Amino acid sequence: MAEQKSVVIIGAGPAGLVLGNLLRAEGIDTLVLERGSREHVQARARAGFLGANSARVLVEHGLGDGMLRRGSSHGTCAFRNEDGEFELNYAKLGRGETHTVYPQHHLVTDLVAEYVARGGEIRFGATVTGIDTETATVRFQDSEVSARFVAGCDGSNGVARQAFSAQSRYVRDHGVSWLAVLAEAPQSMAAVTYALHPNGFAGHMARSPQVTRYYLQVPPGDDAESWTEDRIWAELAVRMRVEEFGPLRQGPITERRIVRLRSDVVDLIQHGRLFLAGDAASLISPSAAKGANLAIMEAEILARGLIDALKRDDERALARYSSTCLPRIWRAQEFSHWMINLLHDPVDAGPDAPFRAALRRARLDDLRESRAHQDFFAEHYVGI
């Protein structure tokens, strides 16, 4: 006979763990199934920019202590190109909101510990092999568990997404790849910095006082291992224009991987008794740091619906889950696409490429000079 749970959550990333914690706070029995080990999920270096809404969710639900102790508030970003550098203090623009920089692996570690402390059950090393979306039955390895509801939080290539094969998908490959680099080196600039250069985009993002994230645009299909430490620092120096703005603080490179800028949205993000959240619902490019923030937003909305259904026998909020989340997902996708076009010259060599490159420069000029464009940027950069 299959195990019985109220909610089975597949995936122990930010979406699954925030959802699990919110449900456990209401006394709802949950089971989290995660294919990786605890050590693996707590060591994955991913995004670290939490928007104002994400910080609110974490603090309001007793999940933000680590973030408040060790995170840092950031309210400025800078852009560099051949015309020089300008800085935007977005904390004083738009809605006056800031980011909290808190590495995702620290957040996941906090969430796992709190989930366990709240009596939640999590099984690491559990490979899910199938989901029945109508009966909410989940098969993993040689076991089976039945639930009132299943939350798929296992990413864009996970088994939960595969159960949505009949749903509409909207996919775009932006034709851009980044080399994502982690360096054991203090930040070299006070602000997140986006550098636009004929060689391609470069980005600088602080992760902690001792660790900095860098991005380098590279040709699609490039091999991360072909980028030696010397080559990485040399190219960052060129694109960051160190001769004009000063040297970079260097240190050992601890991670290098290729990131393809892709967007992938499922519509609808619910089917039968299965609901998607996080990258399982919508994969977004890292150009605007929206992935983890979308995941936390969706987890809170889904938790409210599940609590209503399980404690008050009211499924109206669950029925609206897709229609509540998808407009916000698409607005985040639109801003991410806007950022991609701002940061990169046209990737194809069509006859109108010079025209589109000139438009990109005009877009950056507007951001430098127009308060209306700055307010637009600030509101969408931090918010969902």
Q: Evaluate whether 206 touches 192 at the Cβ level (below 8 Å).
A: yes
Question: Helices in the chain by DSSP H: which ranges?
Answer: 14-25, 38-41, 52-60, 65-70, 104-117, 159-162, 229-239, 242-245, 291-312, 316-319, 321-343, 353-369, 371-382
Q: Is 74 a catalytic residue?
A: yes
Q: Evaluate whether 243 touches 82 at the Cβ level (below 8 Å).
A: no
The whole-angstrom separation of Cα 33 and Cα 102 is: 25
Give the orientation angle of helix 371-382 with respect to helix 321-343, to 10 degrees. 130
Active-site residue (options: 90, 115, 321, 381): 381
Active-site residue (options: 5, 115, 271, 286): 286
Active-site residue (options: 271, 290, 344, 380): 290
Going by the DSSP 8-state scheme, the letter that residue 247 receives in this structure is P
Question: Helices in 62-212 by DSSP H: which ranges?
Answer: 65-70, 104-117, 159-162
Q: Is 321 a catalytic residue?
A: no
- In the block, residue with structure tokens 């005009």: 362
The whole-angstrom separation of Cα 20 and Cα 30 is: 7
Q: Is 170 a catalytic residue?
A: no
Closest by CA to 245, choosing from 83, 73, 367, 75, is 83
Q: Evaluate whether 267 touches 199 at the Cβ level (below 8 Å).
A: no
Active-site residue (options: 90, 115, 194, 214): 194
Distance from the first to the final alpha carbon of the chain: 43
Active-site residue (options: 5, 74, 174, 204): 74
Q: Is 194 a catalytic residue?
A: yes
The whole-angstrom separation of Cα 174 and Cα 310 is: 41
Which positions are annotated as active-site residues?
A: 74, 194, 286, 290, 381
